[in-house]
Amino acid sequence: MEKLPDFHDFTSFVSNIPEAIQKAGGSFVKKSASALAPLSEAGSKFLSAMKSIPSSAAEMAAQLKGQTPFDMIGTGELSQVTPGEAFGKFDEKSNIPIDKVTITTAEGKTKKVLYADVDLDTRKELDEAKFEKIQNHFNHLEQNSIWEMTPYKKAGIDYEHAHVAEVLSKVLAYLHPDVIKGKTLSIPVKNSSDKLEMQEFTIKYEDMEGTKLPFLTLTPTNKDLEPWLIIRGTDANVIGKSADGKEKESSLQSVIADFIDPKGISNKPIDEALTQFEEKISKLSENGKKVNLAGHSLGGEFVQYLAVKLSEKRNENLGVVYGFNSPGVSKKTQVEYKNLKPKGNPIPKLINFNKVGDCIPGVGRKLIGTHYRIDDRRSASPDMAHRVCDLNRAHTLQEVDVEKEEKKGIRRLMEGARKNLIGAALRGALKISNDLHPADWIKSYLTKPELP
């Protein structure tokens, strides 16, 4: 296999930063913290934490030796997974404003433009094409089944089922609602002989009660099959030309959920919509079939939290719960998850896939369920590692040592930056915005959170 790109070695990365720049960077961060302190109580906490910043790159490298936010700590057997070319290439991903996309001009010429500069009609055309690619990929998957793949079978994971969840979470959930709501999608599903066959599902696009954050349900025409519930992750298209007022508010709310709460990812949207989800799960499972949940990034954290909350209410209608490239949960959520078994509640099957090269899974204090480390040895930016589908490529699969991963110093550093730097700035900006243009939904996020 080729050598991994340098960003996989965080110690090397820090050591190569000139000491003078490192000191200047530390000074800048400390000054920034001073400016942010009046904006939030968290600012003073961050300012205190900044006093412990190492004065040199060498000192920081020594403290974080062997640690990286781009790679979780694997344990046990390292298995090679090789789907092969017959499985089909699928490079689709969720788009963000800085992506370059190819469009056709009125003159019939093709050119590349920033996704942020695409108008609504063009964006819908791009998403229509992406929807068609999803369908073509599923058709190809059904024709080239590799269900007997040993590493996943040994781990007790249905390989195609997991990859379907990945595509639904990472690609379908981010398409424009006008493109997908009410449409049907044929998905490969295993029959009683463990062979894949295409089955039709109807897509419904809804908002969580109390917010503009969306989720999808996919209901099978064949009532003997299991339905899906997919929660979308963070949408960065708040600055895109094609986004209307509702979508911009939805995008902003997803960003706020990532950073606003010092305890961890804010699950306020799930708490407010919990009754809605209970009713939705009950309706989807009325034929006695389990409902599978899946989400990417923020959506992956949301579905895990939702699974814990539903299990606390003794809801036994959950199938497999998948998280892809998701941040960790709060300490409180982990305690609730661990208390399910002693209290006799159903235990949801939580499976998380975390890609080498992606720093998002390195954020968050605690982990729940089973985590797997995916490495396809491709030189990609952390951003692309976060968004591109992985399971259809040749890769290695390794279970993560959750206990060791939670103790990593770099993980605490990443979480500190989330809540005490970006979070403090965001809370300050929201306070100013609410003072200028009061809004109930902004005010609800500024309510003083209960600290861990």
Q: Residue 332: give its domain's CATH number.
A: 3.40.50
* Residues 333-355: tens digit of each pLDDT: 999 999 998 888 889 899 999 99
Residues ≥6 apart with Cβ < 8 Å to 290: 226, 317, 318, 319
- Which pLDDT value is given to residue 194? 83
100 half-sphere exposure, CB direction, 13 A CA radius: 4
| C-alpha 443 chain-centroid distance | 26
Q: Categorize the per-residue pLDDT at 269 as very low, low, confident or very high, splitting at 50, 70 and 90.
A: confident
Of 211, 216, 215, nearest in space to 253 by CA = 211
Q: Is residue 104 part of a domain?
A: no
* Residues 23-73: tens digit of each pLDDT: 444 444 444 444 444 444 444 544 454 444 445 555 555 555 566 667 788
| Residue span of the structural domain in which 248 resides | 79-92+120-407
Pair (282, 161) in one structural domain: yes
* Residues 297-316: tens digit of each pLDDT: 989 999 999 999 999 998 88
Residues ≥6 apart with Cβ < 8 Å to 358: 70, 325, 382, 385, 386
Pair (219, 244) in one structural domain: yes
Pair (291, 180) in one structural domain: yes
Pair (190, 45) in one structural domain: no
Q: Is residue 441 part of a domain?
A: yes
* Residues 316-326: tens digit of each pLDDT: 899 999 999 99
Number of domains forming the structure of the chain: 2
Contact 310, 430 (CB under 8 A): no
* Residues 156-168: tens digit of each pLDDT: 999 989 999 999 9
Pair (420, 401) in one structural domain: no
| CA Rg value for the chain | 22
* Residues 205-236: tens digit of each pLDDT: 999 988 778 899 999 999 999 999 999 988 77
Q: Is residue 164 part of a domain?
A: yes
Pair (28, 160) in one structural domain: no
- Which pLDDT value is given to residue 382? 81
pLDDT at 154 over 80: yes
> Taking residues 61-87, what's their average pLDDT?
67
| H or E stretch covering 180 | helix 177-180
pLDDT at 122 over 90: no
Pair (327, 426) in one structural domain: no
Of 344, 359, 438, 388, nearest in space to 67 by CA = 359
Give the residue with greater pLDDT, 142 vs 357.
357
Pair (60, 85) in one structural domain: no
Pair (48, 140) in one structural domain: no
Provide the Cα torsion 25, 26, 28, 34; round to 10°.
160
- Which pLDDT value is given to residue 257? 57
Contact 364, 328 (CB under 8 A): yes
d(CA 164, CA 131): 14
Pair (172, 191) in one structural domain: yes
> Taking residues 146-151, what's their average pLDDT?
66
Pair (19, 168) in one structural domain: no
Q: Categorize the per-residue pLDDT at 246 as very low, low, confident or very high, splitting at 50, 70 and 90.
A: low
Q: Is 427 helix (H, G, I), strand (E, B) or coil?
A: helix
Q: Is residue 71 part of a domain?
A: no
> Taking residues 6-18, what's their average pLDDT?
39
